[in-house]
Structure formats: structure tokens, C-alpha cells
Chain A
């Protein structure tokens, strides 16, 4: 087997190093949707607990402000993940929109593309799920 992938020294096959299998993970493309899932779960849980137990103790405004601040932080995180994935896709460098070939480079760019698109749809999902917080001011 070709073990040169593991070398940390610069060498003529540097590309192979960059695209090495060990540097990839399928989990990475799910980072965007995972943030969406946390956003969804935290918003829903926080609002439920508030509405059932703490509605009489304090105004919802504080909770909404806190959750919207969390939303902004998460949107920034998703945007950053999407940007990193966009760079891996490298469509501006290669001009290739799809990566159908069986090479390490194509696999690398494909995972970038998929991660980018998933970040995009997660971004939209987070925005959608924040709308109730903006539009509705109370539990009822």
C-alpha cells in the first residue's frame, strides 16, 4: 500500500496529502444540519419550559431576545461552515460544478459541495424556525 499519504513533509505529491482519506469525514457534511437540530431543539424546549412553568414569573421578551441572539450566533457558525465547504468544493478554481470521477480530488470536492448545499438548507431552516419567535410575542 502507498504509505506516503502519512508523510508530513512537503513532497511532489502534495495534492494527494491534501485529499487523503484520513483527512475527511462523513460527519463533516452533517455539521450544518446538526446546528439546525440544536437550534430547533433548544428553541422548542426553552419555549415549552417557559410556557408551562415560568410564564407568570417573567416576561417572554427576555427569552425571545436570548433565543434570537443564539440564532444569530448559530447562523454565523453555519455560514462559516458553508464557506469552508465552498472552498473545498473549489468551483471557482476548477470550474467543475459536479465531480463524478473516481479520483481523490473529485471525492474531496464532492464532499465540499454536499457540505455547502447542506449548510445552505440548514441556514434557511434556522431562519424559518426563528420566524415564530419574531412574529409571536406570547405563548398563546
Chain B
């Protein structure tokens, strides 16, 4: 019996680890296996009928996600075809200039935000548990919530073009064009895509925690699949790249809705701030798209070469190195904005430096292929095409990284050619390779080799026919984003070749899409490991078993299916960990970060409607303001909060029925975790890192105005009341101290005092929020960018204070109703962590509103 005096979150694993060979050799009796399978199947059953859509399992959500992103991609592709038709002959009048503007804006935005980034998340949700021998992702309902948000936001954004209301200022929405644009196009872009960015961050949290904490026992960091390394790096990049854009969207929408002049130079604003924030997101984003796709290549290459990857450490180096360096490139999109040449020099140098890690990983693949005995399978054909196209795109990338060259070709078709070469080679081709390679894993059917080769050669040749001439079109001076061109510039025939090529690409995609959706009922059952791969996902069961892995194995090698004999038989027999579901709960194993020692049994959430409702109301909160409907938007936001609270209250961090569980092979693990041991705590930590980045972007904004504008703050400007700011900051500090104190008091068993602290804390928070509001109330945010910036900081801290209050109330309610006790206090740990960040944010806000402007 466990010691009731120890908090449940501090219990240690008991028993034997790692398992011995004798233990693994011992057979599992048939009838035991039968009973285990029955119980697992019942627990992991996919809902049927119309309840199917309540599923949250990664194998369902992943497929919906992938298919939705693919459909958005096809729609965006049709938009490209319409543009190519318009450019078929000079002075064409097939499409109006206005519609053409909407088409290129939506084509770029949809390909980036509705296809490339979501596709990474979708594929990772689909594959990662399989690669890691986990039953599911750590937060299945979060994946589902992310998916539904993506679907709602995506349909809203892409559907706008049917009403001729789509954004039309280009996919990077430069002000003043985009701020002055009439109509709701820009608002649809800002709010719709912000909504999707939130879903992206949710997915990043899920994937980082999954790769760090849900690996199978024994899978140390040096043996985990390279795909998991890439997921980790890309998840981290999303956390630092997307928040600056969210901060930018926040300022942009405040300008569009309330006329706060952040980007209006007549009132002290500066359009360059948007360009900076956009490209601090935009350039890493290119690598956020590229790295996970190349990670697919890292999975396929060893399989077709029939040998382990060469230079595993070198590939880890290139993934991590590229992740860092990609943040030093953003100004190379702004070479023609008149920044000091010496500043351009830094970005030019970093743009050349990033070639080193990128090149290293390509060389590692080539070396593996040379050292192995290559079987030219269909997925490998697509990878080969990817390497060829990407290398060409990389070479033009080296050219445009040199500022004087870029001045010549900036905003011409040369850039269009360059970016399509990098994105087709770096993303589209590897992803299609991945679809052919992993299709038997996630659909338990094979795609057609013949159709696949047709699709490859159509897309490969069509692509080059379309985009190779564009280099020349651009060098001859054709600017991008013009709806037509005059005769006699020598670019007519080039445009005709490009248009012809684009339809060959389209034909290739039609073949590919048909191959995916065509009925495969009559296809005989496939082999379990059709490519002869060595990684864990190919231990999957055919026909499909919804439980993921029958038992969670102990891993000692990078290619367990090649190196660990009998591993699949033992997994199937339930010889390894968690072979059963006696309690009727969905479970997976949580392990330590570096060495993947088993530390906990995590109960994961099951099917629910609440995620759909939560996504729908969150959608309302983002979509209604597009039409300036603010009252119902606030109501919708409130409903979203209620849904999320209900979901958390009913299904997360509940005290378990018993503290320890026998997971097999003589090992018992705790069933509850709190603080840094818990996956929920990690999720809060990662989310708040992203949140802090967004806040840092706002603070950056203040200093940016100070450097770019000699009159910031303007001489004689009215400042916020220093006295009120100081009081507000102190109130937030008190709320933080009370929350932190409540955690200690609760742990020590002084529940009454802890409740008192938790009741007082929200009052202090509200006082702090009120103080910040009053401090800037006399400033007019529409008059100049300085008061507008102070108001923006106030809005930020007040919105966060509101969330902090709700969290404090949630813990108080938890304590009153027995969900939160001295032994089971995970919620309070997570809320305290949130408050560490919020306390710091309040401190910085106080300084930025009350102190810094007086010193500037």
C-alpha cells in the first residue's frame, strides 16, 4: 500500500527497470492475451454513426486534419490556375484586376496558413504516436480542438473569395495598403488567420510534449527517430515565430477597428514595424515548413538504402542549427526598404550561413544512399525529385541572399520562381513521398505504383516547365502580382510556357488525388511492413487495431525492428508494458526527457462533443469582430471559456482511483503527477513561453518606435499616471504571491488558509487590472502612436489578468469540491506557473507604461 502522507505527485516508480531478457522470454498465456485484447479494444473503440465526429484519437483526427489541409491546397491550386490563365496572353481581360488581387493573396495565404503549416501538424499527429510506440498523443482533446478550430477558421478565410470579400493586399498584408483597404478582406485575413495560429500553437505544445515525454521506455535521445528530433525543433520554432505575428495581428486589428495609428506615419506610427514582426515570423516559417518535410526524407532514406542513417548526430546538428539560424534571416525580405547597408550585411551573412546546416543534411542523405543498397521505390523517387528541385531553389536562394542582386530582382518573377522551387522541393515533394510511404501505415492499404509514377513525372516535368522560365521572366523585368502585361516585352512566350506547364502540374495532382480517394475495398490485405523499415511505426497491426500498440516496448536501438529480434511478437503478445486496460481508461506511459525512464501512467482523454463546442465558440469570438459585431463576440468568447473549463474540470488531473498501477514486467508506476513531473505542467510552460514571446514583441514595438521616430514619446506628451501604475503593479505582485503561497499552504495541509489566499488573489488581480485601465484612461489612443502603444500594453495585461482570475477561481472551486487536495494538487502547480509568467509580465508592463517613457 502506498504511503498516504506523500503527495501523489511525488511518488516514485517501484520495481524492476530495465526488464531482463528472461522476463521478456516468458510467454503470456493465450487466455490472458484474449482478455487483454478485449478490454483494450473496448476502451479504444472509435465512436460509431454520427458520434464518429466526437473521436479524438490521433488516428482519426490526424486523417481529418491531413485531408482538410489537402483540400485547401487543391482549392489554392485552382486559384493559381486561374491566375495562369489570365497571364496566358498580354492584355488579357479574363479576370478583373480586383479578383486577381484576391486570387494571389488567397493563394499565398492559403498555401502557407491552411496547407503547409497545418500539414506538418496533421502528419505529426498522425505519425508521432506510432513512431514512439505510444497509444496516443498526451492531449488528444487538444488535437481535436485544434483541428476543429482549423476547419472553421480555414473555411471562413478561404470561403470569403466566393463573396468577392477576400483580402487583396498580398499574403504579407503590408500597411498602409492593407490598413487603408476598404471592405473586410484585411479583417478576414487578420482575425481568421490569428484563430488558426492559436490552433498551430496548440499543436506545437502537443507535439513538443509528445516527443519529450511520451517516448517508449529506453528510447534515449540518441536513439529516437530523427523525425522526433525535427518535431522538437519545429515545435520550438513555432513557439518563437508565431507569437510575433500574433502581436502584429493584434496591433493591426486595433488599427483597423479602432483607428489606433500603429502603422500610420502621420500620427507617429511606422509601417516598418509590421514588416519586421511579419518577417520575424515569415522567415522561420519557411523552415517550419521545410524541416518536418525533410524529416520524412530522413525516415525514407534509411529504409530504401537498407542501412542505418549515416551521420545521425550531423542531422541533429543541422536540424537544431537551422532552427536557430533561421531566426537571423528575416530582413532579407526587406533588402529594398532603405535600412542601413551595414544592417543588411548581418542578414546577408546569416542567410549564407544557414546554407551550411541545410547542406549538411542533404549530404548525409546522399551519403546514406551511396553507402547502402538502394531500392528505387516510389517514395524514393519523390525524394529524389525533391532533392533535385530543392537544390535548384537553394542555389537561387544563395543568389538573392546577396543584397545587390536582390535589389535587381526584388518583387519580380525571379522571386516567384525561387520560392516555388524551395517550397516544392522542400515541402510538396517530400510530403507526397511521405504519403506514399506512410499510406499503408495509416490506411492499411497500398497506393498504386503505376499511378504514383504517372503523378510524379507529370508534376516533376510540369513544375519545371512552369517555374524554370519564370527566372528569365523575372530577369526580363516582369513584376509579380500584376494582373496583366503589355505586348512586346519579350515575356509573352515565357508566360505561355508557364501557363501550359501549370496545367501539367494540375493533371499530376489530379492523378495523385484520385489514387488517394479511389475505392480500395478489393485490395488484398497488405503486408505489415511493406517497405522492410526498421522503425517502430511498422509494428502496427493489420487489419487496424485502434489501441495503437498492443503493448509499449522497451527500446534499445535506433532501428528496433532490424536490431531487436522478436520485438514485434512480444509486443503483439502483450509481453511489454501496459498490455491491458483493467480500469477501462485510455492510458499511455510517460517517460523522462533524456533517457526515457518510465515515470508515470498518463490517463488520456476520450471522445467528446465539448471540443467541437469549444472550437465553435472560439471561432465566434474571432469571426464576429470581422463584421464589427462585438457584443455577441464577447458572449461567444465567454461560452468558449465555459466549454474549456467544463472540459478541464471533468477530464483532467482528477484524483485517480489508486495511486500506483502495475504496468507489467514487475514495474509499478504512479497514476498521478504534479509540477514538473506532469505533462500538463510542461504544456503550460511551453504555452507561456510562446505567450511571453508575443509580449516581448509588443515591448520590442515600444523600443522600435523610439529608434525609428525621433519624437517618441512626442515632446510634452501626457504620460500614464505613475501613481496608479505603481499601485496596479503592486496589486499584481500581491496576487502572484497569494497564488504561490496557496500552493505551499495547500501542500502543507493548511487547506483553510490556502482557500483564503485563493479567494483574496482574484480580488487583487481585479484591483491591478482596474489600476492599469485607470492609469491610461486620460490618454487618447487615436491621437498618436505613443498613447496607442500604452493602451495596447494595458489591453494585453488586462486580458491576461482576466485569465489569471479565472484560474485562481478554478483552483478555489477545485479545493472546495474535492478535485484539488493537499495530495492531488496538479492544477495549483500549473496555475502557479502561469502566474510566474503573469507576474513578470505585469512587472514589465508597469515599467513600460509608468517608467520607461519618462526616461526616453
- State the A residues within 8 Å of B (CB): 1-2, 21, 24-26, 29-30, 33-34, 36-37, 40, 43-44, 47-49, 51-53, 98-102, 104, 106-107, 110-111, 113-114, 117-118, 121-122, 124-125, 128-129, 131-133, 135-136, 138-140
Contacts and interface: CB of A to CB of B under 8 A. Distances in A.
A119 to B, nearest CB: 10
Contacts of B223: 100-102, 107
B353 interface: yes
B646 interface: no
State which size class the interface on B falls in: 35 or more
A21 B592 contact: yes
A107 B220 contact: yes
A2 B708 CA distance: 60
A114 to B, nearest CB: 5
B556 A48 contact: no
Interface in B12-31: 12-15, 17
B593 interface: yes
Interface in B349-365: 349-350, 352-353, 356-357
Contact of A118 (B308, B321, B346, B556): B321
A117 B308 contact: no
B312 A98 contact: yes
B345 interface: yes
Given A33-B321, A37-B324, A114 B342 contact: no
B650 interface: no
Interface in B51-103: none
B598 to A, nearest CB: 9
A44 B710 CA distance: 19
A40 B317 CA distance: 19
20 contacts: A33-B320, A36-B328, A37-B328, A40-B350, A100-B558, A102-B220, A102-B556, A107-B222, A107-B595, A117-B313, A117-B314, A121-B317, A121-B357, A125-B353, A128-B350, A132-B345, A135-B345, A136-B345, A139-B342, A140-B340
A103 B520 CA distance: 44
Contacts of B343: 44, 47-48, 51
Which 7 pairs of residues, A with B, have the shortest CB-CB distance? A132-B345, A110-B222, A102-B556, A33-B324, A117-B317, A139-B340, A128-B349
A102 B557 CA distance: 5
B509 to A, nearest CB: 37
Given A33-B321, A124-B356, 20 more contacts: A1-B597, A24-B594, A33-B325, A37-B324, A47-B346, A51-B340, A52-B707, A52-B708, A101-B556, A102-B219, A102-B555, A106-B220, A107-B220, A111-B221, A114-B313, A117-B314, A122-B324, A128-B352, A128-B353, A136-B342
Contacts of B350: 40, 125, 128-129
Most buried by B among A34, A47, A49, A114: A114
Contacts of A34: 324
A63 B467 CA distance: 45
Most buried by A among B13, B341, B342: B342
Contact of B320 (A113, A118, A128): A118
Nearest to B236: A30
Interface in B300-340: 308, 311-314, 316-317, 320-321, 324-325, 327-328, 339-340
Contacts of A52: 707-708
Most buried by B among A25, A99, A132: A132
Contacts of A113: 313
B218 interface: yes
B597 A49 contact: no
Interface in B194-227: 218-223
Contact of A30 (B13, B219, B320): B320
A98 B341 CA distance: 43
Nearest to A60: B342
A124 B342 CA distance: 19
Contact of A48 (B321, B345, B356, B707): B707
A30 B221 CA distance: 14
B356 A121 contact: yes
A29 B317 CA distance: 9
A92 B339 CA distance: 48
Contacts of B312: 98, 100, 110
Interface in B423-479: none
B320 A53 contact: no
A110 B221 CA distance: 9
B622 to A, nearest CB: 32
